[in-house]
Amino acid sequence: MAVSWKDYDPNDFFDELIARKGRPRPYARMLTKYLAKHSDEELETRKALSDLSIKEMGITFTVYTEEEGSIDRAWPFDILPRMIPKSEWDVIERGLKQRVQALNLFIHDLYHGQKIIKDGVFPAELLKGSANYRKECEGVSPPLNIWAHICGSDLVRDASGTVYVLEDNLRVPSGVSYMLENRSVMKRVFPELFDEYSILPVDDYCSQLFDTLTAISPRKAESPEIVVLTPGIYNSAYFEHAYLAQQMGCELVEGRDLIVEKDDCVYMRTVEGMQRVDVIYRRIDDLFLDPEAFNSDSMLGVPGLLRAWKKGKVALANAPGAGVADDKVVYAFVPEIIRYYLDEEALIPNVPTYRCMYPEERAYVLDHLDELVVKPANESGGYGMMIGPRATKKERAMFAKLIKKSPRNYIAQPTLGLSTVPTMVGQGVEPRHVDLRPFILSGQETFVTTGGLTRVALRPGSLIVNSSQGGGSKDTWIVEDNQ
């Protein structure tokens, strides 16, 4: 039996492909007609091919469990793509560039005079309670005054079709390798669709990343020495670290492979002797980066690395201290930050957000915990949050205590009806909720991936898209509005 779109029901959610029962969106008509010609068995065969490709290509992610420790699992991938029309994407792209430009200005200001605080736009008490503000970075001016060279901003769409920024990831955002590999798998599974559709490419990301890193090299050599610094093979994103290093033609190193010498330069141990390093794309959190400056117990970092960076002998991407803007409470002020630094209104809105640090907003949150999503300031991956409508009375009572104890560290948002995309489930196709993580590179120029990593909640009704909690992913196609 072929896919029947007449039976596909998006309910009250905004579906990215199907406007309503039996009515695909204009840009999805060709795809839905194509899929309607395929039986469930044929699609299952294609799905099996994708699973085999993922296994052969070694695309994995790591899950941590108390019972079994770390486990490598094959990347969960759904073969039905998510599509976004180019006219809409053009606005999103401009909005992401605007947002990252303002956030880099904001970070630089916080470490150089804090004018935004003196002008009363950003609360001083919010900075005092920041877990990611690094006093060690005060007065430092990184190359081009850019702190967050690689940003992954998560986007969601609500039931009305409005696109929102859900959060900004400015420390060590991950997922771009899966975006690239998803496209490779799709080309194997549905090669004919890439002949029919004009799909904007994503495979120039690694060359753009290389150019971004080259632009911040302290030595203006034609071929600066760039390395990717990983915590090691047990990190959940190790596949990505190795993938990006391989694609850029760079060395993948651990902290023990690097040393800071008396000249404050960073050197890499090689079989041919010490080799100076110009740029480090670090995938290690600030506190583990340099045991001399931060956590003295860290075995992952490089002693003296912060000193070398502050003296301009090596460039770090992202810069230490960039995480001060990677805070869900700071996120709530981003529209004001954009207005302050750029004198513009945000092109992509924030999700409406209640800041528990303010008594009136906190009182509303405490009275409506059964309706809201409550998030801690500095957690990621969907951990530490409470989805009010699905929480027990005990869980809501616990979060009420946490909010009262530390109001600065919590925000709350309405429970959004996230958009859906047709997804293969068993022997059929059903709607599943999705979000989107595009990646923005900031160097001499700003570059936004055409699309990004679409994460999908594979469990029916679930809003949790993280792979560590049962989510998967899809290829994201930016296409012309009418094809």
Q: What is the pLDDT of residues 412-455, one digit of tens each?
A: 999 988 999 999 987 788 999 999 999 999 999 999 999 999 99
User: Is there a cis peptide before residue 182, judged by omega within 30 degrees of 0?
Assistant: no
Q: Is the pLDDT of residue 66 over 50?
A: no
Q: Is the pLDDT of residue 2 over 70?
A: no
Residues 217 and 330 in one domain: yes
Q: What is the pLDDT of residues 124-174, one digit of tens each?
A: 999 988 999 999 999 999 999 999 999 999 999 999 999 999 999 999 999
- Rounded to whole angstroms, the Cα distance separating 263 from 80 reads 54
Residues 157 and 284 in one domain: yes
Residues 246 and 388 in one domain: no
Q: Which tokens sit at 130? A: 């920041």
357-362 long-range Cβ contacts below 8 angstroms, 24+ apart: 357/123, 357/125, 357/126, 357/329, 357/407, 357/408, 362/403, 362/407
Within-domain flag for 353? no
Beta-carbon contacts of residue 422 (< 8 Å; ≥ 6 apart)? 8, 15, 17, 18, 80, 429, 430, 431
Q: Give the burial string for 419-456 (b: 16+ CB within 10 Å, else e).
A: bbbbbbeeeebebbbbbbbbbbbbbeebbbbbbbbbbb
* 177 SS3 class: helix
- Look at phi and psi of residue 471 and say left if phi exceeds 0, alpha if psi is from -120 to 50, else beta: beta
Range in 27-31, 101-105, 254-258 the model is least confident about: 27-31
Per-residue pLDDT, 22 = 76
Percent of the chain exceeding pLDDT 70 equals 95
Beta strands in 438-475 (DSSP E): 439-442, 446-448, 453-457, 471-474
Domain tally for the chain? 2
Within-domain flag for 451? no
Residues 253 and 280 in one domain: yes
Residues 139 and 288 in one domain: yes
Residues 206 and 104 in one domain: yes
Q: What is the pLDDT of residues 286-345, one digit of tens each?
A: 999 999 999 999 999 999 999 999 999 999 999 999 999 999 999 999 999 999 999 999
Within-domain flag for 474? no
Residues 286 and 246 in one domain: yes
Range in 59-73, 265-279, 399-413 the model is least confident about: 59-73
Range in 64-73, 261-270, 297-306, 423-432 the model is least confident about: 64-73
Domain that holds residue 296: 93-163+198-342
Residues 267 and 403 in one domain: no
